[in-house]
Amino acid sequence: MGRKELTENFPVALKLLPAGHRESLHAVYGYARTVDELGDSYAGDRTAALRAFTVDLDRIWAGEEPDHPVLRRLRPIVHQHDLPPDPFHRLIQANLQDQTVTRYPTFEDLLGYCRLSADPVGRMVLGVFEVHDPETERLSDLVCTALQLVEHWQDVGEDRRAGRIYLPQTDLMTYGVAETDLDRGQATQQLRELMIFETARAAKMLDEGAAIVGRLHGWARISVAGFVAGGQATVRALRRTGGDVLSHQASPSKFDTVRLLVKAVAR
């Protein structure tokens, strides 16, 4: 994905919103999805395509008309909400990094990637709702990073087949997990223990970040609560696998997601 957990939750939240907010978030969602497609599935030179897209993106803040239809749709939203370019650039930077980096030595290195690949989406959403205070942004970053992590833990086998391993190398060594263990059809006991640890670490981050819902009001509160609930439901799904993410698909149930959404909004 990178940003699958975030971008796939967008349409769910959008159904609840009035037309004005829907249009703004659709434009942001379309941008994030397009960047992901260029970085993940574009048939040509992905690095060149991402760099060209950056040039086109910058036309928005230069007062010019972009060429790409997704950017033309985004342009009035950027100006309406005075959205800064940095989060948009960071998503492209994450996808450029995906072209060359396939391993992360430490958890801190992985968090650095999440600051590029996940946190910007939350900043864009807050920008659409014109929320800019530092503490809310900090909590948003925690939620977005946690969502990115649980998505990686859902997709350990798929990412391995694509040549990427997001599990930190130091954690693999600590738990005695070899990279070839990720090729198995079933997780070893060591891998199960590692995944239980990684899931707990992401869940703790998500629980801390969930305080963001109480700082928001109206449609912003409902939208962000939807992301938090989706992440919490995914954590539950990961725990149901007992750490065996190779032979079990950690798919959150809609019932869990809706129940957790109602609980989050009602706090």
The residue with greater pLDDT, 96 or 230, is 96
User: For position 262, what pLDDT does the model report?
Assistant: 77
Domains of the chain: 4-266 (1.10.600.10)
Mean of pLDDT values over 7-20: 65
Question: Mean pLDDT, the chain, as a whole number?
Answer: 93
Which among 198, 180, 209 has a CA at the least distance from the CA of 241? 198
The Cα–Cα gap between 63 and 36 comes to 25
Per residue in 80-112, pLDDT (tens digit) is 999 999 999 999 999 999 999 999 999 999 999
Give the pLDDT band of residue 136 (cuts 50, 70, 90). very high
The Cα–Cα gap between 63 and 200 comes to 46
Which among 253, 229, 245, 226 has a CA at the least distance from the CA of 156? 245
